[in-house]
């Protein structure tokens, strides 16, 4: 029963929400939901069983290893596609806005701070309507002082509040990076647990369209390098809502990397995502698409590209498993490794610069834990190793495209197993 | 637009810049001559005057680091008929300064014996600033400091044992040995660090002041102090050239935050003289540029510092906003224990050693019959005993165990993510024993 499973997961992970006992869900909805759930539990247990059979955990030499690996089943979506409730559509922008709204209304200690978040309704309209609703004490328009206001956010977090600090883009966070790393990330450790920093740094990350080198860098690898930070990168609206809520509730500093080009994209979301206590666990990846021939990991916008690539690859007989990382730090190495042990091939996709990037870390993790399972070298797709050019055609070449993912997946698959389909 | 609806516009500061009295032939910097009586607004007094070489520095000429010239005027603490402090207050001040001095001297000893290591920055000579300000605070008020933070922590109430053990790197230290000399934190005492980067503590302090105002106005929590909880930010002259300083002066005044910016101007940033590094070395004047009062004070005189501090803290507590206080002070030792301290002139050092704040307070106490010599000796002995006990405690304490290495990275224990077996790492007992593979 996948949805109940999701809800139960959030409780296991210690988040103080309980979907079923939430007073906010209308009674009617609860009744509908529970009756629906009973029906579905029958269907999906069957489906889950089928999925497990297809996946086939039988290739192991030792039974103990097999048992251990049985437990590394990728948690999350074996979503039945034929779920009867009408799926609502929501843009990522609406998802973020509603998440902020709900968290600010639930906890008066949460406040939003950044450039243009108030009267301008947000540089990308993410904080639309919040100033009107919560007032200038809780939605603060700051001067252009990243170092200053990031540090103010950290100091406020030290002393008991829960700030959400918005950077207009994460490129500007470089002016404040001393505070993100030295006074936020390291403080719980330096103070031996006395002072925790429940702050969220959020904003668009990575390349946009034609904005040039200084506005296009991806900072996932930089922030994920630092112990003491949690780094999240949502793809869909469900991710955006669930992860932002989790980030705001989390007692530790979270770097929340959004993507400007995804703000306007609309995704269908199941009804439970709309509940105000919906939360996704930090540190768990999501398998967007089950597959058996090659694992493709991606985060943020690249998940969309990978899914498109998977569609095209499936016509050529390559069944790709797409993992949406969601959490760059802590990285869900368990899910990635389980997937690689199943498919034996890995392609990592990211938008940022290749050297010392997220893909490098994933590759190493797989070599450490699942080396014998690899049938081909790990393929790494990343942005070009140049500052982002301005010209539209050059920019296209500097960022991974669907074709690049397809070619890498094919390279990974052709190494040892000849594929029947022609290109 | 101001963050808080209570304040819609900047009010003119009540304490304005002091203009130099016309009796003096030429203006000098960084410290103006004292005016004979307080000029109306408040009971603030000026610092002692140091007349400088009058040549104004131009970018192309080398600036002399000479602070002293032939004409020196040293004023001793004013001899009033009535004492500025009660006996109890005076003894508290004396004990706190003596504690700070003895502690730092002991740190030097322990460093040279190898018990302490790394970077250690001592506060000898600057005790009047720490004591003068921090002893006026309520328990709910916060202090944010720099790497020269041992004495700030002690004045705020962190036990000497905890600080010494932290310096020795023992698990009984105030940060379990994980912070060190430059990163003292104590949540129960609202001592918010200990920062190695200069200027880093200023935005953090501004944030703490913001939090104080937010809790009062948005969350409607009343503070036991009767007003707003005040935050003190301590930092040096070198920091006053850093961008974050100006960003925070702006925002603190913009939002009328309950903070006092305390500049400990000891004239030297490691080996860089303040005069060589700063286009306009008068720091307190930079406050009014942002709309807040700027006040200079003699940082070698604890009573003068205390007078200024009282007013600044009251301003902050009542919601009138920030104040910039520049304390003229001096560190008797080098920048750190690794600094050979070759660039400072001996006559400059001698000048300030003669103004030792502890000796000055002792003289004041005896002149005003607030206590006897033997009582003061008793206090010194008590302080020495406390320090001895702290050293013994720190010596006897154990080093942190191996399992402590991975602890405290996150407040959320599940923050270490999922291990290879699919369970949360924090649930694996081997993880906390320090034997798991990470």
Structural tokens at position B151: 């004495």
What is the average pLDDT across A306-332?
Answer: 96
CB–CB contact A155 B211 (8 Å): yes
More confident residue, B185 or A80: B185
- Residue A352: predicted pLDDT: 96
DSSP character string of A192-223: TTS-----EEEEE-S--SS--GGG----HHHH
Please identify which residue in the block is written with the tokens 């406020």: A156
What is the average pLDDT across A34-53?
Answer: 48
Q: Burial letters for A26-44: b for 16+ Cβ neighbours within 10 Å, e otherwise?
A: eeeeeeebeebbeebeeeb
Structural tokens at position A87: 């799926």
Q: Burial letters for A294-303: b for 16+ Cβ neighbours within 10 Å, e otherwise?
A: bbbbbbbbbb
* pLDDT surpasses 90 at B41: no
Using a CB-CB cut-off of 8 Å, the residues of chain A touching B417 are 283, 327, 329-333
Q: Is B260 helix (H, G, I), strand (E, B) or coil?
A: strand
CA quadruple A187, A189, A194, A197: dihedral sign = positive
CB–CB contact B420 A188 (8 Å): no
What is the average pLDDT across A266-292?
Answer: 94
What is the average pLDDT across B173-191?
Answer: 94
CB–CB contact A141 B1 (8 Å): yes
More confident residue, B375 or B431: B375
CA angle A127, A130, A134 (to 5 degrees): 150
CA angle A367, A370, A375 (to 5 degrees): 85
Q: How far is B418 from chain A (nearest CA, A)?
A: 6
Could you give the CA distance from residue B213 to residue B220 in angstroms, rounded to a whole number?
10
Could you give the CA distance from residue A129 to residue A149 in angstroms, rounded to a whole number?
22
Q: How confident is the model at residue B350 (pLDDT cuts 50, 70, 90)?
A: very high
* Among the partner residues A72, A140, A188, nearest to B409 by beta-carbon distance: A188
Could you give the CA distance from residue B308 to residue B361 in angstroms, rounded to a whole number?
17
Q: How far is A157 from chain B (nearest CA, A)?
A: 8
Cβ A159 vs Cβ A137: under 8 Å: no
Please identify which residue in the block is written with the tokens 């993790």: A365
* Among the partner residues A13, A108, A160, nearest to B211 by beta-carbon distance: A160
Q: How far is A190 from chain B (nearest CA, A)?
A: 4
- Tell me the per-residue pLDDT of B385-418, one tens digit each, with 9 for 90 and over: 999 999 999 999 999 988 888 888 888 766 666 6
What is the Cα A112 distance to its own chain's centre? Answer: 21
Using a CB-CB cut-off of 8 Å, the residues of chain A touching B162 are none
Q: How far is B230 from chain A (nearest CA, A)?
A: 12
- Residue A63: predicted pLDDT: 47
Kindly report the number of other CB atoms within 10 A of residue A128's CB atom.
17
Could you give the CA distance from residue A153 to residue A163 in angstroms, rounded to a whole number?
6
Could you give the CA distance from residue A298 to residue A289 in angstroms, rounded to a whole number?
12
Beta bridge partners of A255: A201, A231
DSSP character string of B310-349: HHHHHHHHHT---EEEEEE---SS-SSTT----SS-HHHH
Low-confidence winner among A361-370, B196-205, B419-428 (lowest mean pLDDT): B419-428
What is the average pLDDT across A321-325?
Answer: 98
Treating both helix axes as pointing N-terminal to C-terminal, what angle do B357-367 and B373-396 enclose, rounded to 10 degrees? 140
Helix (H) or strand (E) holding A361: helix A358-370
- Tell me the per-residue pLDDT of B277-286, one tens digit each, with 9 for 90 and over: 999 999 999 9
Using a CB-CB cut-off of 8 Å, the residues of chain A touching B192 are 155, 158-159, 195
Which residues, 6+ apart, have CB-to-CB distance to B302 below 8 Å? B93, B97, B127, B128, B131, B132, B357, B360, B361
Cβ B29 vs Cβ B281: under 8 Å: yes
Nearest CA in chain A to B246: A148
Could you give the CA distance from residue A422 to residue A414 in angstroms, rounded to a whole number?
12
Nearest CA in chain B to A186: B409
Task: Please return the burial class of B342, using the count of CB atoms within 10 Å of its CB with bins 0-12, 13-18 and 19+.
Answer: exposed
Percent of chain A with pLDDT over 70: 77
Which residues, 6+ apart, have CB-to-CB distance to A394 below 8 Å? none
**What ipTM score was computed for the predicted complex, to two decimals?**
0.73
Structural tokens at position B212: 């104080």
Nearest CA in chain B to A195: B187
Could you give the CA distance from residue B140 to residue B431 in angstroms, rounded to a whole number?
37
Residue A203: phi, psi to the nearest 5? 160, 170
Q: How far is A211 from chain B (nearest CA, A)?
A: 27
B416–chain A Cβ distance below 8 A for any pair: yes
Treating both helix axes as pointing N-terminal to C-terminal, what angle do B357-367 and B127-134 enclose, rounded to 10 degrees? 60
* pLDDT surpasses 90 at B233: yes
Cβ A149 vs Cβ A114: under 8 Å: yes
Kindly report the number of other CB atoms within 10 A of residue B410's CB atom.
25
Q: How confident is the model at residue B340 (pLDDT cuts 50, 70, 90)?
A: confident
Using a CB-CB cut-off of 8 Å, the residues of chain A touching B204 are 151-152, 154-155, 158, 179, 183
Nearest CA in chain A to B250: A143
Q: Which residues of A are catalytic?
A: 146, 215
- Tell me the per-residue pLDDT of B99-148, one tens digit each, with 9 for 90 and over: 999 999 999 999 999 999 889 999 999 999 999 999 999 999 999 999 99
Tell me the count of A-B CB pairs closer than 8 A. 213
Provide the chain B residues 193-252 that lie in CB contact (below 8 A) with chain A.
193-197, 200, 202-212, 214-215, 217-219, 243-244, 247-248, 250-251
Kindly report the number of other CB atoms within 10 A of residue B432's CB atom.
16
> Can you give the C-alpha Rg of chain B in angstroms?
23
B323–chain A Cβ distance below 8 A for any pair: no
- Determine which of A10, A69, A148 to mutate to test the interface with B (most B C-beta atoms within 10 Å): A148
Instruction: List the one residue out of A354, A356, A366 whose CA is nearest residue A404.
Output: A354
- Residue B154: predicted pLDDT: 97
More confident residue, B427 or A235: A235
Q: How confident is the model at residue A6 (pLDDT cuts 50, 70, 90)?
A: very low
- Please state, in angstroms and as integers, the Cα–Cα distance from residue A154 to each residue in A200, A264, B60, B207, B218, following that order: 10, 30, 40, 7, 18
Q: How far is A149 from chain B (nearest CA, A)?
A: 7
Longest dimension (CA), chain A: 64
* Among the partner residues B214, B408, B420, nearest to A333 by beta-carbon distance: B420
* Among the partner residues B190, B203, B215, nearest to A148 by beta-carbon distance: B203
Could you give the CA distance from residue B103 to residue B384 in angstroms, rounded to a whole number?
9
B7–chain A Cβ distance below 8 A for any pair: no
* pLDDT surpasses 70 at A125: yes
- Residue A184: predicted pLDDT: 97
Task: Please return the burial class of B224, using the count of CB atoms within 10 Å of its CB with bins 0-12, 13-18 and 19+.
Answer: exposed
Helix (H) or strand (E) holding A288: strand A286-289
* pLDDT surpasses 70 at B10: no
More confident residue, A30 or A341: A341
Structural tokens at position A371: 């080396």
Kindly report the number of other CB atoms within 10 A of residue B411's CB atom.
17
Instruction: List the one residue out of A406, A151, A375 whose CA is nearest residue B199.
Output: A151
* pLDDT surpasses 50 at B35: no
B142–chain A Cβ distance below 8 A for any pair: yes
DSSP character string of B219-254: S-PPPTTSSPPPEEEEEETGGGGSHHHHHHHHHHHH
Cβ A74 vs Cβ A43: under 8 Å: no
- Residue B414: predicted pLDDT: 66
* Among the partner residues A156, A187, A331, nearest to B210 by beta-carbon distance: A156
Could you give the CA distance from residue A113 to residue A143 in angstroms, rounded to a whole number?
10
Could you give the CA distance from residue A179 to residue B204 in angstroms, rounded to a whole number?
9
Q: How confident is the model at residue A232 (pLDDT cuts 50, 70, 90)?
A: very high
- Tell me the per-residue pLDDT of B65-99, one tens digit each, with 9 for 90 and over: 665 654 444 344 445 457 789 999 999 999 999 99
B291–chain A Cβ distance below 8 A for any pair: no
Could you give the CA distance from residue B30 to residue B47 in angstroms, rounded to a whole number?
11
Could you give the CA distance from residue B7 to residue A101 in angstroms, rounded to a whole number?
26
Which residues, 6+ apart, have CB-to-CB distance to B275 below 8 Å? B30, B52, B57, B63, B64, B65, B67, B267, B281
CB–CB contact A147 B193 (8 Å): no
* Among the partner residues A138, A155, A284, nearest to B418 by beta-carbon distance: A284
What is the average pLDDT across A418-422?
Answer: 40
- Determine which of A107, A141, A159 to mutate to test the interface with B (most B C-beta atoms within 10 Å): A159
CB–CB contact A190 B175 (8 Å): yes
- Residue B420: predicted pLDDT: 65
CB–CB contact A158 B207 (8 Å): yes
CB–CB contact A13 B414 (8 Å): yes
B191–chain A Cβ distance below 8 A for any pair: no
* pLDDT surpasses 70 at A405: yes
Which residues, 6+ apart, have CB-to-CB distance to B235 below 8 Å? B146, B198, B199, B201, B202, B245, B261, B262, B263, B264
* Among the partner residues B5, B187, B200, nearest to A183 by beta-carbon distance: B200
* pLDDT surpasses 70 at B18: no
Please identify which residue in the block is written with the tokens 């100006």: B246
- Tell me the per-residue pLDDT of A287-302, one tens digit each, with 9 for 90 and over: 999 999 999 999 999 9
Using a CB-CB cut-off of 8 Å, the residues of chain A touching B188 are 194
Using a CB-CB cut-off of 8 Å, the residues of chain A touching B206 are 148, 151-152, 155
- Please state, in angstroms and as integers, the Cα–Cα distance from residue B398 to each residue in A144, A190, B372, B401, B402, following that order: 48, 18, 41, 8, 12
Nearest CA in chain A to B426: A13
- Residue A27: predicted pLDDT: 57
More confident residue, B312 or A7: B312
Q: How far is A31 from chain B (nearest CA, A)?
A: 33
* pLDDT surpasses 80 at A51: no
- Residue B23: predicted pLDDT: 46
CB–CB contact B203 A149 (8 Å): yes
* pLDDT surpasses 70 at A173: yes
Secondary structure letter of residue B20 according to DSSP: P
Nearest CA in chain B to A131: B3
B414–chain A Cβ distance below 8 A for any pair: yes
- Residue B147: predicted pLDDT: 95
* pLDDT surpasses 90 at B346: yes
* pLDDT surpasses 50 at B24: no
Cβ B238 vs Cβ B245: under 8 Å: no
* pLDDT surpasses 50 at A7: no
- Residue A28: predicted pLDDT: 55
Nearest CA in chain A to B198: A178
Task: Please return the burial class of B311, using the count of CB atoms within 10 Å of its CB with bins 0-12, 13-18 and 19+.
Answer: buried
CB–CB contact B251 A148 (8 Å): yes
- Residue A62: predicted pLDDT: 47
Could you give the CA distance from residue B282 to residue B287 in angstroms, rounded to a whole number?
10
């Amino acid at each position: 029963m996948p949805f109940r499973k999701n809800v139960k997961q959030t409780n296991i992970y210690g988040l103080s929400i309980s979907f079923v006992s939430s007073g906010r869900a209308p009674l009617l909805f609860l009744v509908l939901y529970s009756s629906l759930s009973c029906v579905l539990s029958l269907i999906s247990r069957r489906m889950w069983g089928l999925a497990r059979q297809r996946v086939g955990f039988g290739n192991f030499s030792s039974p103990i290893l097999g048992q251990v690996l049985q437990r590394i089943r990728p948690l999350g979506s074996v979503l039945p596609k034929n779920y009867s409730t009408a799926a609502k559509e929501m843009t990522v922008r609406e998802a973020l806005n509603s998440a902020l709204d709900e968290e600010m209304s639930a906890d008066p200690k949460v406040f939003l701070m950044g450039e243009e978040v108030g009267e301008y309704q947000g540089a990308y309209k993410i904080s639309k309507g919040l100033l009107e609703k919560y007032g200038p004490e809780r939605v603060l328009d700051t001067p252009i002082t990243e170092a200053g206001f990031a540090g103010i956010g950290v100091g406020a977090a030290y002393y008991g509040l829960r700030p959400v600090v918005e950077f207009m883009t994460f490129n500007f966070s470089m002016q404040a990076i001393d505070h993100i790393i030295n006074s936020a990330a390291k403080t719980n450790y330096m103070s031996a647990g006395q002072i925790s920093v429940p702050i969220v740094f959020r904003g668009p990350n990575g390349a946009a369209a034609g904005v040039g080198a200084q506005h296009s860098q991806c900072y996932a690898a930089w922030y994920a390098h630092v112990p003491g930070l949690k780094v999240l990168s949502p793809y869909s609206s469900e991710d955006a809502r669930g992860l932002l809520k989790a980030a705001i509730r989390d007692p530790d500093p979270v770097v929340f990397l959004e993507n400007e080009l995804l703000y306007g994209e609309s995704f269908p979301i199941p009804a439970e995502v709309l509940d105000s206590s919906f939360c996704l666990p930090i540190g768990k990846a999501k398998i967007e698409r089950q597959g058996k021939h090659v694992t493709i990991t991606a985060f943020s916008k690249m998940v969309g590209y990978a899914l498109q690539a998977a569609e095209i690859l499936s016509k050529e007989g390559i069944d790709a498993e797409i993992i949406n990382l969601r959490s760059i730090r802590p990285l869900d190495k368990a899910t990635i490794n389980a997937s690689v042990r199943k498919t034996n091939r890995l392609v990592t996709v990211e938008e940022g610069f290749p050297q010392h990037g997220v893909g490098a870390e994933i590759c190493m993790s797989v070599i450490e834990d699942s080396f014998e399972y690899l049938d081909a070298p790990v393929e790494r797709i990343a942005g070009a190793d140049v500052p982002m050019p301005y010209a539209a055609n050059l920019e296209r070449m500097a960022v991974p495209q669907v074709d690049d993912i397809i070619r890498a997946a094919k390279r990974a698959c052709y190494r040892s197993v000849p594929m029947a389909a022609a290109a | 637009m101001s963050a808080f609806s209570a304040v819609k516009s900047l009010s003119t500061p009540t304490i304005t810049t002091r203009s130099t009295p016309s009796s003096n032939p030429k203006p000098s910097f960084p410290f103006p001559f004292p005016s004979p009586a307080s000029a109306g607004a408040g009971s603030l007094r000026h610092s002692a005057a140091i007349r400088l070489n009058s040549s104004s520095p131009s970018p192309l000429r080398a600036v002399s680091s000479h602070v002293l010239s032939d004409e020196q005027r040293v004023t001793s603490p004013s001899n009033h008929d009535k004492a500025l402090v009660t006996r109890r207050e005076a003894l508290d001040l004396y004990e706190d300064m003596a504690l700070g001095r003895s502690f730092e001297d002991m740190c030097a000893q322990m460093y040279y014996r190898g018990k302490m290591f790394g970077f250690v920055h001592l506060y000898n000579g600057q005790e009047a600033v720490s004591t003068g300000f921090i002893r006026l605070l309520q328990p709910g008020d916060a202090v944010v400091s720099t790497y020269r933070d041992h004495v700030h922590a002690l004045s705020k109430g962190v036990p000497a044992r905890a600080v010494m053990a932290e310096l020795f790197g023992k698990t009984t230290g105030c940060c379990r040995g994980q912070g060190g000399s430059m990163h003292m934190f104590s949540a129960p005492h609202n001592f918010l660090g200990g920062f190695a980067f200069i200027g880093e503590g200023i935005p953090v302090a501004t944030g703490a002041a913001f939090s104080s105002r937010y809790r009062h106005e948005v969350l409607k929590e009343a503070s036991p102090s009767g007003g707003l909880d005040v935050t003190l930010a301590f930092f040096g002259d070198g920091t006053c050239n850093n961008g974050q300083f100006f960003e925070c002066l702006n925002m603190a005044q913009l939002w009328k935050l309950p903070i006092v910016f305390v500049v400990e101007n000891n004239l030297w940033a490691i080996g860089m003289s303040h005069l060589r590094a700063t286009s306009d070395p008068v720091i307190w004047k930079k406050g009014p540029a942002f709309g807040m009062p700027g006040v200079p004070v003699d940082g070698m005189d604890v009573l003068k510092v205390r007078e200024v501090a009282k007013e600044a803290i009251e301003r902050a507590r009542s919601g009138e906003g920030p104040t910039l206080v520049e304390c003229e002070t001096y560190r008797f030792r080098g920048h750190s224990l690794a600094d050979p301290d070759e660039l400072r002139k001996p006559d400059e050092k001698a000048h300030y050693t003669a103004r030792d704040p502890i000796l000055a307070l002792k003289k004041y106490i005896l002149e005003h019959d607030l206590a006897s010599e033997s009582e003061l000796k008793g206090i010194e002995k008590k302080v020495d005993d406390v320090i001895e006990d702290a050293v013994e405690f720190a010596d006897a304490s154990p080093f942190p165990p191996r399992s402590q290495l991975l602890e405290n990275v996150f407040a959320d224990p599940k923050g270490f993510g999922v291990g290879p077996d699919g369970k949360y790492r924090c649930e694996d007992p081997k993880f906390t024993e320090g034997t798991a593979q990470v």
